[in-house]
């Protein structure tokens, strides 16, 4: 051993055991340490050193080296490693971070945490599996789904029409060609993925209970008083469209008068950005998280869309909008084919552009176990008047007709005359229309 190598090993031993260093006098139980390092970020096992850091020595014979190789090979899956001799009495087993996690030995699953290799319980094992990206929820086959009983052929036809895919063969074969299902040769049963269940089941929520969207409008800036609430179920496409209708119905609209006689509607939040954010929530949510679902919160001073699932392993907040990482690849593929996802990684740029054009501040993002995107309302100029969709509709009606009565407005809006009058008074106050005459002979005209 060279002097600098000896000094390096001595320095490592003097530093003691830690996240990446383990001391072992012999190879008994070494399989636990091997899988623990492979399941973590890797590390080295120094054989021939006791727990106190004292060199006890070991003879790194060919037989011993062969035993260690067999131990690593018998792990499930096999663990790759390097064996390095340090003199005649010390052996280093270098275990890199595993690419096929989780790994287990005959005694179970272990993970390196600090200076200890801890045996994992079920929940920790599941988390490790999910973080490895080996078990994507949308790609798993749903064993409870029976194709003949639960498949909605009309939903599938609607998707094919949106996607521009010709319906030239049986739905079973189309699903297989789209990698959304496969046939079990022994039973001849069609095994359908969770992604296909989400989009094409008659009742997706019967199989994936928390896959719905809840939209709530509040009176103020907190969740104290609810004005409107709806829970939307169905396919992701159906829920996206239903959520957008709810948002549009509950959103204030600015009414601008320009040279064009037709009304110009400017919403508090640009619909393009809201559609993009809602689609992203459905596409990237963690469907393994079965204690909550996607929410749209409409407050008096902001709009928030939140979905279960933080950032994927290896992705930082600063990477958002720069790197494209898909949690649910099949879900993303279906939405892309249906025209709900345009360019890979371009969604953030489109939202930023839409907000800027609409006069909104930039969106904000917060990440924990949930991913939340927050929009602030547009900055209203002096020439813009905040109106509800119904008031905007009524203003357009007056402009198009030139002169209308209260009764005509009530019939147009399908409301009572008293309600129509209240809406007309708001337009009068905003100086968007003017009145002429009095009593029953009162008429309303565009300014």
Residue pLDDT, tens place only, 384-412: 456 777 887 888 788 777 789 999 999 99
Give the start-to-end residue ranges of the domains of the chain. Answer: 3-132, 139-206, 213-320+338-375, 388-446
Domain at 3-132: CATH code:
3.30.950.30
pLDDT digits (tens, 9 = 90+) for 124-182: 777 666 666 566 788 888 889 999 999 999 999 999 999 888 777 788 988 988 889 98
Average pLDDT estimate for 291-310:
91
Q: Return contacts of 376-383, CB within 8 angstroms, 24+ apart.
A: 376/301, 376/302, 377/252, 377/268, 377/269, 377/301, 377/302, 377/303, 378/254, 378/266, 378/267, 378/268, 378/269, 380/254, 383/256
Structure-derived torsion over alpha carbons of residues 272, 276, 278, 282, reported in degrees to the nearest 10 = 150
Q: Which CATH number fits domain 213-320+338-375: 3.30.565.60, 3.90.550.10, 1.10.10.10, 3.40.50.720?
A: 3.30.565.60
Q: Which fold has domain 388-446?
A: Arc Repressor Mutant, subunit A (1.10.10)
What the block records as the tokens of 9 is 């090993």
pLDDT attached to residue 446: 77
Q: 213-320+338-375 and 388-446 share one CATH topology?
A: no
Q: Report the C-alpha gap between 110 and 95 in whole angstroms.
A: 14
What is the C-alpha separation between 220 and 227, in angstroms, rounded?
10
Mean pLDDT within 86-107: 90
Residues 287/253, Cβ–Cβ less than 8 Å: no
Tokens of 72: 């690593």
Q: Which of residues 352 and 122 earns the better pLDDT score?
A: 352
Which one has a higher pLDDT value, 332 or 288?
332
> Are residues 331 and 309 in contact, defined by beta-carbon separation less than 8 angstroms?
no
- Separation of alpha carbons 418 and 438, rounded Å: 16
Report how far residue 312's alpha carbon sits from residue 29's, in angstroms, rounded to the nearest whole number.
Answer: 33
SS3 405: strand
For residue 169, how many other CB atoms are within 10 A of its CB?
10
d(CA 284, CA 325): 9
Task: Tell me the average pLDDT of the chain.
Answer: 85
Determine the average pLDDT of the residues in 245-265: 73
- Secondary structure E strands in 221-368: 226-232, 253-256, 264-267, 294-298, 303-308, 364-367
Highest mean pLDDT, choosing among 9-18, 106-115, 309-318:
106-115
Instruction: Give the C-alpha separation, 151 to 39, whole Å.
Output: 39
State the sign of the Cα–Cα–Cα–Cα dihedral 221, 226, 230, 231.
Answer: positive
Confidence of residue 101 (pLDDT cuts 50, 70, 90): confident
198-221 average pLDDT score? 94
pLDDT of 75 > 80? The answer is yes
**Quick one: what percent of the chain has pLDDT higher than 90?**
46
Asked if 129 and 102 touch (Cβ cutoff 8 Å), the reply is: yes
Please give the DSSP secondary-structure letter assigned to residue 187.
T
- pLDDT band with cut points at 50, 70 and 90 for residue 382: very low
**What's the whole-model pTM score?**
0.62
Predicted local confidence at residue 34, as pLDDT? 96
Top pLDDT among 412 and 325 is at 412
The pLDDT of residue 314 is: 58
Alpha-carbon gap, residue 307 to 289, rounded angstroms: 10
The sheet carrying 294-298 orders its strands as 226-232, 213-218, 294-298, 303-308, 370-375, 364-367
Question: At CB < 8 A and 24+ separation, what contacts does 317-320 make?
Answer: 317/365, 317/367, 320/348, 320/365
pLDDT at 383: 37
Average pLDDT over every residue of 44-71: 92
Give the pLDDT confidence of 257-294 residue by residue, as tens digits: 554 555 667 888 999 999 999 999 999 898 887 778 99
């Amino acid at each position: 051993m060279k002097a600098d190598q000896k000094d390096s090993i001595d320095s490592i031993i003097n530093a003691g055991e830690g996240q990446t260093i383990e001391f072992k006098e012999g190879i008994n139980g070494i399989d636990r340490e091997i899988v623990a390092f492979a399941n973590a970020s890797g590390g080295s096992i120094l054989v021939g050193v006791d727990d106190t850091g004292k060199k006890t020595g070991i003879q790194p014979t060919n037989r011993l080296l062969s035993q260690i190789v067999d131990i690593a090979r018998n792990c499930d899956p096999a663990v790759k490693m390097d064996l390095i001799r340090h003199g005649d009495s010390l052996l280093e087993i270098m275990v890199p971070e595993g690419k096929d996690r989780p790994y287990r030995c005959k005694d179970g699953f272990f993970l390196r945490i600090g200076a200890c290799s801890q045996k994992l319980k079920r929940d920790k094992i599941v988390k490790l599996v999910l973080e490895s990206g080996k078990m994507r929820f949308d790609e798993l086959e749903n064993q409870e789904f029976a194709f003949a009983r639960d498949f909605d052929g009309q939903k599938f036809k609607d998707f094919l029409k949106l996607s521009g895919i010709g319906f030239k063969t049986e739905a079973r074969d189309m699903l297989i060609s789209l990698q959304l299902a496969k046939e079990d040769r022994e039973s001849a049963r069609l095994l359908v993925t969770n992604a296909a269940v989400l989009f094409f089941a008659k009742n997706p929520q019967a199989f994936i209970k928390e896959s719905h969207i809840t939209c709530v409008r509040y009176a103020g800036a907190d969740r104290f008083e609810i004005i409107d609430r709806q829970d939307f179920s169905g396919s992701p496409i159906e829920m996206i469209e239903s959520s957008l209708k709810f948002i549009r119905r509950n959103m204030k609209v600015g009414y601008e008068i320009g040279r064009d006689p037709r009304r110009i509607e400017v919403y508090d939040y640009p619909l393009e950005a809201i559609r993009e954010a809602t689609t992203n929530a459905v596409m990237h949510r963690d469907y393994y998280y079965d204690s909550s679902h996607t929410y749209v919160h409409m407050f008096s001073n902001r709009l928030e869309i939140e979905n279960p699932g933080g950032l994927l392993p290896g992705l930082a907040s600063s990477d958002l909008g720069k790197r494209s990482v898909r949690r649910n690849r099949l879900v993303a593929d279906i939405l892309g084919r249906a025209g709900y996802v345009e360019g890979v990684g371009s969604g953030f740029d489109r939202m930023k552009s839409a907000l800027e054009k609409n006069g909104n501040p930039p969106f904000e993002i917060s990440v924990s176990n949930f991913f939340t995107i927050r929009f602030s309302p547009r900055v209203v100029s002096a020439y813009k008047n905040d109106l509800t969709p119904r008031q905007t509709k009524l203003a357009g009606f007056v402009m198009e007709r030139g002169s209308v009565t209260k009764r005509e407005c009530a019939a147009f809006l399908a409301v009572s005359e008293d309600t129509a009058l209240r809406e007309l008074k708001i337009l009068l106050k905003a100086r968007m229309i003017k009145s002429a005459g009095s009593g029953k002979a009162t008429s309303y005209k565009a300014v």
